A = this chain, B = another copy of it.
Amino acid sequence: MTPPRDAYHHGDLRNALVASAVRLIEAGGPSAFSLREAAREVGVSANAAYRHFDDKSALITAVAADGFARLAERMRRAMASASAHRGGEPASIARFKAAGGAYVGFAVDHPEIFRAMFGECGAECRSATPENEETETSWTLLGQALDALVADGFLRPERRVGAELKVWTVVHGFASLSLDGLTAAPTQRERKAALEALLDFTVVGLCGDLPTAG
């Protein structure tokens, strides 16, 4: 992938460093990652990194940003493919569940990256600055899914407000617990079942009503 470096100038150090950092973090978590090691892996002196990043944490921030972009992409894909072959479910609900599933799926597949994204260094990526398109995207995708629920008549419009936060809460909570393991490492099968139940629960919470209590 990286050709043996002969030239004095690397050519694409920034991206190479980010890629190396992703590998290292993916392997051992954000704590088991050092600037020097990343530089070593790329074949460059430790301080070269400072031409491209203010900080060690700036590099991690870049990793987080990359993670957010990949997360959004994954959600996009999942939603699109859910529209295609859903299993008898209304399209809007299928898409909604697909979005949630993709979020959790990303977290489970890339736990350490996910941690980095929501650690202190990822903070800048998460603030909804107008420029931060990528970050905004997963939030936006969720919004689209919810709008579709309204359009299909499942979610009453007056309940639409604040729905993103609720869904995000559920999905993010499940992802966090899956990683940080309140439940001791369930099988993928069990997790899938739990997630399905959770998404149903979410739909009821959003769209449903309490039975006449008495």
Contacts and interface: CB of A to CB of B under 8 A. Distances in A.
Given A169-B177, A182-B139, A194-B165, A204 B203 contact: no
Given A204-B208, A208-B210, A211-B207, A170 B168 contact: no
A169 B180 contact: no
A2 interface: no
Given A120-B29, A208-B211, A198 B169 contact: yes
A197 B162 contact: yes
A166 B198 contact: yes
Interface residues of A, number: 45
Interface stretch (A4-12, A15-23, A37-45, A123-131): A123-131
A210 B194 CA distance: 19
Given A172-B177, A173-B171, A203 B198 contact: no
A158 interface: no
Copies in the complex: 2
Contact of A209 (B173, B180, B184, B209): B209
A50 interface: no
B127 A181 contact: yes
A53 interface: no
A126 B172 CA distance: 18
B184 A128 contact: yes
Interface string A192-214: 00100110011111111111010
Contacts of A182: 126, 139, 168, 172
Sorted nearest first, the 3 A-B pairs with minimum C-beta distance are A173-B173, A205-B205, A169-B173
Given A118-B176, A139-B182, 10 more contacts: A29-B120, A126-B181, A127-B181, A127-B184, A168-B177, A168-B182, A169-B173, A172-B176, A172-B182, A205-B208
